[in-house]
Structure 1
């Protein structure tokens, strides 16, 4: 088993063939820390995309006719191959998206768990036999794959957030076409195709098109062979995809932005809450949709919390993601850096205090802690996709919930308290898809429903939710005795 380099993997993976696309643009890929080029590929055209969907559809008919136990074993073999290639994949994650070694290990662990969960799907395509008010009728309801699934993945956790939909979709019997983010075409796309090729899954079942919207327009969503579109990314793009999915009557799973709140009640274990808050904000430079953008602290413990929080945050190693000690590496590109700093400066102009002010060195941004933040400030209302956090205070439980809910987003959250039932009752009032008592805001488990409310998305994935997302139900009735019709 050889190691794969970017030059091996930065190609279109369409219909079992590795090649350049037929589009108009040469798409370049670079290391976000060093800005050194990693490779480039000719973009995929609309015709290339059509070939990818046709391939996924053809291979799906072969795939679904393979014995489900064999399909399970192929998926388990994929997990075994991943374990053998973990060092190589770690390097790819570090180089392509600036993930630290700690982040790479975290992401790869999530992928392993998701593959193992999806390997159970071929044996869970169960059906039902239901009674009928009509004499002599047998109602059979079959769970069926939808056929072909289109997956659009982001740059922050590209390996996991692609695989989360890809492996569950093929586990449910579908073919797949992936459109990875332009900044992470390998870890979010072609590396996944390569893993499945090694495990013996039919050639062309999973395809990757590296392209731009200017090349393909709406075709990724509107293509007639695409029955479900799974998108993870910004709310703005998700709204457009949801609109297109509705127009073409597609099923859409949309996992979008977040503005998660971590609430610290007055009876919380402060040291533990600080640890959870640091992990929840600064893991992968804050480039996680579940990251705690807002720390909401009871006013009676504000000073004690902030003193310890600043001490820990200031100690985080910032710099080269290849260094084992680094916690905060680079943001994905300069555009993200500029956007983040515009929001920080706007927050300071609006009255926020830079309790800790980070510096910018290339794409590496040191941590910033903003205090005296009010709920109506820009920094409290926009997703901060970087190592910046807003700190707000409250007096009562009701005020804490009100502040937390004063957001268009509702993805994740956390509450820290000695009284877990008090926390659970407050959690019920939070307008968010997921919330964790005495934990961080960053959680994703293979069996538990994952998804958001409000502008944070539509639908749920993981476990039986993913099985539902990528399958449909077919009613077949059998009339065993002649039925009496009202005429003829």
Structure 2
């Protein structure tokens, strides 16, 4: 039996998940020192997966202190050393694929399809980071200055990265920060959403422990805001705060970071439009809209939040979309046939039901009425939605579709831009040249022609405009985000000064 196989059995059976319900600080599994505990549950049936003793502010402070010290040595490692660690972590995640997918599904409420997609994306971010681990420590020369001056531009690690990840895609949205940080010579203090502490934190810590990452370079804290407040944001050792989550929290982080002159990488809320133009292939647009609206029950920042359809194809689109949405299988997310699983918690369910009830009170047309089955909400479809209404302007984060009629292609683009957000977007048209021209008019970080809005890859500039965030992930853009540049000049000939 290989070491990886041994770790597979020792970590991912029920008993060891219970055992590894701890934070990972300075290379050790540490039980939280709080008097409070948190039960991580399966959103479908509320069964307890494990119970976590929460880490305290003192433990967070300790993690940052240790990370700052460990980073000094890690920054001096060779490219080969960093690549070896990242590759071993990737090997661990690959070898334990099946068990990890099961935990992802049980803990997040995501379907098996969604869990497989998330595992795949996690691997892609990790493997891409291996490629650019050589971007730090080397220099390039640029001309300029007096005779005899040699200008060298170095790219250096930032230091300690504070990482905060969300509940919806906890593994890959954590790795999207952790992998580049480590590859580029930084250390990390990471806090996953406690609801998904195993897939957002414990599994990743186990992978890096297996990979032999030096102690203190990666620290993972299982706790909540009630316990630690803003400690992840205010600690003086952190040089960058990487956060994926709501715009409201992102603004709070931005205020604190601004006061303390810290960098941020913020991927925030979305209100992504799918625009169906008059010449679109309606069947293909419906296929994309059903997937891009209902994957993971709509709980994705770049999910299709508004479907904007030209009046010439509106009725055909609505009829076909409703029929498809009505037939989606729902229930236990661990059943491979399930498409609509549970919302992550009762609070999200209550928010979704409130959106639905308010829209009904406002007189919005209901083309398909969903139903609450335990913590599962089946698809609801609203049509003839006013683009300026509360329903159209809110990030729904639920299997609720809003369809808006546009009188022209130009008006459709205006409606698409009528939002404070600007994360992802999509346009369906048979005229690809026109589609690309219109894509540049959409005020969003990403626009996909003849596809849906939920796309990600490790080598594209992922990020949003307006209230959807700051900064870009993806190679090579993330390299600039997670490093600092330094100018070193060498005067090789004596310089004459004017006085």
* Contact kept? 2:193, 2:224, Cα under 8 Å: no
Unaligned runs of 5+ in 1: none
What do residues 226-256 of structure 1 show as CA deviations (whole Å, max 9, x unaligned)?
0000000000000000110101000001100
The offset of 1:213, in angstroms, is 2.2
* Contact kept? 2:170, 2:199, Cα under 8 Å: yes
The counterpart of 2:405, out of the listed 358, 374, 393, is 393
* Contact kept? 1:142, 1:474, Cα under 8 Å: yes
The offset of 1:45, in angstroms, is 1.3
* Contact kept? 1:15, 1:51, Cα under 8 Å: no
* Contact kept? 1:337, 1:365, Cα under 8 Å: yes
Structure 1 CA distance for aligned equivalents of residues 257 and 442 of structure 2: 29
Structure 1 CA distance for aligned equivalents of residues 490 and 226 of structure 2: 50
The counterpart of 1:145, out of the listed 154, 157, 182, is 157
* Contact kept? 1:346, 1:378, Cα under 8 Å: no
The counterpart of 1:117, out of the listed 117, 122, 128, is 128
What do residues 59-115 of structure 1 show as CA deviations (whole Å, max 9, x unaligned)?
222322222122112212222221110011011101111111100110011111111
Look up the SS of the partner of 1:451 in the other structure.
coil
Task: Say which is worse superposed, 61-70 or 224-233, in terms of deviation.
Answer: 61-70
Task: Say which is worse superposed, 9-18 or 210-219, in terms of deviation.
Answer: 210-219
Corresponding residue for residue 242 of structure 1:
254
The counterpart of 1:21, out of the listed 21, 24, 32, is 32
The offset of 1:26, in angstroms, is 1.3
Count of aligned residue pairs for this structure pair: 487
Look up the SS of the partner of 1:227 in the other structure.
strand
- Kindly indicate whether residue 430 of structure 2 is the aligned counterpart of residue 418 of structure 1: yes
Structure 2 CA distance for aligned equivalents of residues 298 and 136 of structure 1: 64
- Kindly indicate whether residue 23 of structure 2 is the aligned counterpart of residue 12 of structure 1: yes
Corresponding residue for residue 3 of structure 2:
none
Structure 2 CA distance for aligned equivalents of residues 221 and 169 of structure 1: 17
The counterpart of 2:99, out of the listed 88, 96, 103, is 88
Look up the SS of the partner of 1:103 in the other structure.
helix
Look up the SS of the partner of 2:116 in the other structure.
helix
Structure 2 CA distance for aligned equivalents of residues 122 and 189 of structure 1: 22
Look up the SS of the partner of 1:82 in the other structure.
helix
Look up the SS of the partner of 1:392 in the other structure.
strand
What do residues 368-422 of structure 1 show as CA deviations (whole Å, max 9, x unaligned)?
0011200121110000101111000111122101111111111101000100111
Unaligned runs of 5+ in 2: 1-5
Look up the SS of the partner of 2:153 in the other structure.
strand
The offset of 1:325, in angstroms, is 0.3
The counterpart of 1:132, out of the listed 134, 141, 144, is 144
Pairing of 1:179-198 with structure 2 (within 5 A): 179-198=191-210
Structure 1 CA distance for aligned equivalents of residues 488 and 33 of structure 2: 44
What do residues 125-166 of structure 1 show as CA deviations (whole Å, max 9, x unaligned)?
242212232222211111000011000000000001001010
Task: Say which is worse superposed, 98-107 or 42-51, in terms of deviation.
Answer: 42-51
* Contact kept? 1:413, 1:441, Cα under 8 Å: yes
The offset of 1:362, in angstroms, is 2.1
- Kindly indicate whether residue 220 of structure 2 is the aligned counterpart of residue 212 of structure 1: no
Look up the SS of the partner of 1:243 in the other structure.
helix
Corresponding residue for residue 84 of structure 2:
73
Structure 2 CA distance for aligned equivalents of residues 425 and 131 of structure 1: 38
The offset of 1:41, in angstroms, is 1.7
Structure 1 CA distance for aligned equivalents of residues 99 and 416 of structure 2: 41
Structure 2 CA distance for aligned equivalents of residues 99 and 64 of structure 1: 37
TM-score (norm 2): 0.95
Pairwise CA RMSD:
1.2
Corresponding residue for residue 156 of structure 1:
168
The offset of 1:267, in angstroms, is 1.1
Corresponding residue for residue 182 of structure 2:
170
The offset of 1:364, in angstroms, is 0.7
Task: Say which is worse superposed, 474-483 or 93-102, in terms of deviation.
Answer: 474-483
The counterpart of 1:459, out of the listed 471, 481, 486, is 471
The offset of 1:15, in angstroms, is 1.1
Look up the SS of the partner of 1:415 in the other structure.
strand
Task: Say which is worse superposed, 106-115 or 122-131, in terms of deviation.
Answer: 122-131
Structure 2 CA distance for aligned equivalents of residues 10 and 285 of structure 1: 27
Structure 2 CA distance for aligned equivalents of residues 427 and 346 of structure 1: 33
Corresponding residue for residue 105 of structure 1:
116
- Kindly indicate whether residue 285 of structure 2 is the aligned counterpart of residue 273 of structure 1: yes
The offset of 1:189, in angstroms, is 1.2
Corresponding residue for residue 290 of structure 1:
302
Corresponding residue for residue 366 of structure 2:
354
* Contact kept? 2:278, 2:409, Cα under 8 Å: no
